[in-house]
């Protein structure tokens, strides 16, 4: 019995040590987006900063999601304030109309040309179920800006949390 406990404790200690070295640098970033939804019911509830508040609540009405107006190629961006090597990015989708995120590109880079929408691609979001969170591995791509864009589509872009994980030290 003690041996099992010891192995479990060592395993948990190793897991904690590994996960503790990664941190979500988006929490201290600055977010912006191409537009904000003009529907008066949501107003400030859909601001870009809501997607980096540390709250994965997928209900837009609770004020923790960003939401653009419907437009061609809507985008959202977080400025991490300095370049990081990005291990992975986690995106939480809204709990309704989740299909809207299908086809979005996740970009990482240091350029603000065209609002950062021509930086290298980390991943394409094929789909995320309503209210779910999905992880996208970027394998150390480096950059100060992380963008999510619905390139060429006329759509809304809605994000309830974007986490940018790195093991870079400050």
In a domain, 5, yes or no: no
Instruction: State the pLDDT at residue 10.
Output: 38
Q: How confident is the model at residue 169 (pLDDT cuts 50, 70, 90)?
A: confident
In a domain, 154, yes or no: yes
In a domain, 14, yes or no: no
Instruction: State the pLDDT at residue 40.
Output: 63
Distance CA 114, CA 125 (A): 21
Contacts of 28 (CB under 8 A, 6+ apart): 80, 81
In a domain, 11, yes or no: no
Distance CA 157, CA 101 (A): 7
In a domain, 45, yes or no: yes
Contacts of 39 (CB under 8 A, 6+ apart): none
Instruction: State the pLDDT at residue 20.
Output: 52
In a domain, 60, yes or no: yes
Calculated CA dihedral for residues 94, 100, 101, 105, nearest 10 degrees: -150
Say yes or no to pLDDT of 148 above 70: yes
pLDDT digits (tens, 9 = 90+) for 13-72: 444 444 459 999 999 999 999 999 877 666 667 899 999 999 999 999 898 999 999 999
Instruction: State the pLDDT at residue 125.
Output: 98
Q: Count structural domains, the chain.
A: 1
In a domain, 35, yes or no: yes
Instruction: State the pLDDT at residue 2.
Output: 41
| Domain around 70 | 23-166
Predicted structure pTM score = 0.86
Instruction: State the pLDDT at residue 38.
Output: 76
Residues in the chain: 170
CATH number, domain with residue 100: 2.60.120.260
pLDDT digits (tens, 9 = 90+) for 132-142: 999 999 999 99
In a domain, 127, yes or no: yes
């Amino acid at each position: 019995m003690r041996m099992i406990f010891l192995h479990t404790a060592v395993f948990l200690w190793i897991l904690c040590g590994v996960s503790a070295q990664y941190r979500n640098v988006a929490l201290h970033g600055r977010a912006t987006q191409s537009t904000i939804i003009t529907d008066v019911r949501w107003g400030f509830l859909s601001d870009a900063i809501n997607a980096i508040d540390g709250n994965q609540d997928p209900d837009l009405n609770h004020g923790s999601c960003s939401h653009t107006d419907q437009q061609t190629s809507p985008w959202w961006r977080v400025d991490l304030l300095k370049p990081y090597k990005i291990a992975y990015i986690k995106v939480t989708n809204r709990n309704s109309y989740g299909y809207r995120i299908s086809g979005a590109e996740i970009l990482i880079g240091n350029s603000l040309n065209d609002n950062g929408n021509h930086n290298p691609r980390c991943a394409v979001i094929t789909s995320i179920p309503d209210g779910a969170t999905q992880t996208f591995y970027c394998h150390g791509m480096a950059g100060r800006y992380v963008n999510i864009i619905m390139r060429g589509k006329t759509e809304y872009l809605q994000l309830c949390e974007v986490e940018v994980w790195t093991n870079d030290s400050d």
